[in-house]
Amino acid sequence: MLLTIDCGNTNTGFAIWDGTSFLASWRCATQHQRTADEYYVWLQTLMHLHRIDVTITDVIISSTVPRVVLNLRVLCDRYFDTRPYVVGKPDTLLPVDVRVDAGTQVGPDRLVNTVAGWDRHGGDLILVDFGTATTFDVVDTDGAYIGGVIAPGVNLSLEALHMAAAALPHVDITQPQRVIGTNTVACMQSGIFWGYVGLIKETSARIRAERGRAMKTVATGGLAPLFQQAEDLFDSYEEDLTMHGLTVIHRFNKENT
Ligand SMILES: Nc1ncnc2c1ncn2[C@@H]1O[C@H](COP(=O)(O)OP(=O)(O)O)[C@@H](O)[C@H]1O
Ligand SMILES: CC(C)(COP(=O)(O)O)[C@@H](O)C(=O)NCCC(=O)O
Ligand SMILES: [K+]
């Protein structure tokens, strides 16, 4: 049984893949201090609660936070008696090319999304991932990752307003009824929400223009549906895009190494 681990700057997702479907998935806050023992107790408890009685034999990790990988490796070694595949490491192969400037360390999550998008839709894609940062990953006709865009994440932007301006409170993101806010919270929500709708539209349109071709847009990350409900911004929303990519990379490595 395969355990897929997607470690973002804010949260880390764990999912169990039986070769056909995900049996369960869980999330915890990303903390590099968390030990292998802590991960294991937490995972075991959740597996028991969900009556998932399986043996983990394989693990694949994508981590945008290099420091957490050490303890995840210890988890794999001590409790699952396996060596994990770590996306971005030389001994983990990718089924697609990466064509960026020499020396650039592309976020592994972006490579995983590329593989997932290529597997599900073929090439010429724009993948939009709403995480700590909002990333646009551009996938070439042959599935290669050829670059993209990194914008501040939605919550990060709201947090930055609150942190930097004494009179601005902490607010949650929602779709405002009106553009013109008549109180501070409504003004902030409008700025972030409609500003983001604009960011997504403009960025996608400019990527298409620069590529000079039609491209499908696939969104992932918890906040994508909020924007999609306001305007038709994406061709599809796939909550499990990154986890799916991890299963594809795992299979590829099993077959080719
Ligand atoms: N379904 C959701 N509804 C509201 N906020 C969400 C949802 N999913 C994620 N977020 C927020 O978006 C931010 C980024 O979350 P996450 O996707 O876990 O990022 P990362 O992958 O970078 O760890 C966090 O602040 C989180 O609270
Ligand atoms: C852009 C990111 C911070 C996004 O991370 P996330 O929001 O998923 O936590 C991550 O993909 C990263 O650290 N990238 C390295 C630079 C690059 O991709 O070019
Ligand atoms: K991400």
pLDDT digits (tens, 9 = 90+) for 196-235: 999 999 999 999 999 999 999 999 999 999 999 999 999 9
Q: Each residue of 5-36: pLDDT tens digit?
A: 999 999 999 999 999 999 999 999 999 999 99
Percentage of the chain surpassing pLDDT 90? 99
Same domain? 138 vs 239 = yes
Same domain? 64 vs 120 = no
Q: Is residue 95 part of a domain?
A: no
Percentage of the chain surpassing pLDDT 70? 100
Q: Is residue 257 part of a domain?
A: no
| Cα gap 217→201, rounded to integer Å | 11
Q: Is residue 224 part of a domain?
A: yes
Same domain? 136 vs 171 = yes
Mean pLDDT of 172-190: 96
Segments forming the whole domain that contains residue 66: 2-86
Q: Each residue of 44-99: pLDDT tens digit?
A: 999 999 999 999 999 999 999 999 999 999 999 999 999 999 999 999 999 999 99
At 220 the pLDDT is 98
190 lines ligand 1 (CB under 6 A): no
Q: Is residue 103 part of a domain?
A: no
Which of 58, 109, 124, 137 is the catalytic position?
109
Mean pLDDT of 100-109: 98
108 lines ligand 1 (CB under 6 A): no
pTM reported for the whole predicted model? 0.97
Mean pLDDT of 116-144: 98
Q: Please report, for the domain that includes residue 143, its CATH number.
A: 3.30.420.40
Mean pLDDT of 111-117: 99
| Cα gap 188→58, rounded to integer Å | 45
Q: Is residue 226 part of a domain?
A: yes
Q: Is residue 92 part of a domain?
A: no
* Angle between the N-to-C axes of helices 154-164 and 184-211, in degrees from 0 to 180, rounded to the nearest 10: 140
Q: Is residue 227 part of a domain?
A: yes
For the chain, the domain total comes to: 2
In DSSP notation, the chain reads -EEEEEE-SSEEEEEEE-SSSEEEEEEEE--TT--HHHHHHHHHHHHHHTT------EEEEEESSGGGHHHHHHHHHHHS--PPEETTSTTS--SS-B-S-TT----HHHHHHHHHHHHHH-SSEEEEEESSEEEEEEE-TTS-EEEEEEEE-HHHHHHHHHHH-TT---------S-SS-SSHHHHHHHHHHHHHHHHHHHHHHHHHHHHTS--EEEEESTTHHHHHHHS---SEE-TTHHHHHHHHHHHHHHHH-
Atom 25 (ligand 1): residue with closest C-alpha?
Answer: 155
Same domain? 117 vs 38 = no
Q: Is residue 45 part of a domain?
A: yes
Residues within 5 A (CB) of ion ligand 3:
8, 109, 129, 131
Q: Report how far ligand 2's centroid is from the alpha carbon of 150 (Å).
A: 8
